[in-house]
Amino acid sequence: MTARRRPAQRGVSRFGVGRAAAASILALWACAGGPAPLPAPDHGAVAAPAEVALALRRRAEGFYLRLAHRRFDTLETYHDSIMRDHFSSLDLFFDYYADLAEDLVLAEFERSRPTEVEVLEFLFEDPRTAQVLVRFRGNDGRPLRPGSTQLVRADRWEWADGTWWVRPGKL
Strand order in the sheet with 116-126: 116-126, 129-139, 148-160, 163-166
Domain hosting 55: range is 44-166
Q: Write the pLDDT tens digit of every residue in 14-65.
A: 334 333 333 333 333 334 456 777 666 666 678 888 888 999 999 999 999 9
Task: Tell me the whole-structure pTM to 2 decimals.
Answer: 0.71
Q: Write the pLDDT tens digit of every residue in 109-130.
A: 887 778 889 999 999 998 899 9
- Cβ(49)–Cβ(127) below 8 Å: yes
Please tell me the distance from the alpha carbon of residue 71 to that of residue 145, in angstroms, as a whole number: 20
Q: Which residues of the chain form beta strands (DSSP E)?
A: 116-126, 129-139, 148-160, 163-166
Domain count, the chain: 1
Q: Is residue 7 one of the residues assigned to a domain?
A: no
Q: Is residue 11 one of the residues assigned to a domain?
A: no
- Cβ(102)–Cβ(95) below 8 Å: no
Q: Is residue 61 one of the residues assigned to a domain?
A: yes
- Cβ(22)–Cβ(15) below 8 Å: no
Please tell me the distance from the alpha carbon of residue 100 to that of residue 55, in angstroms, as a whole number: 24
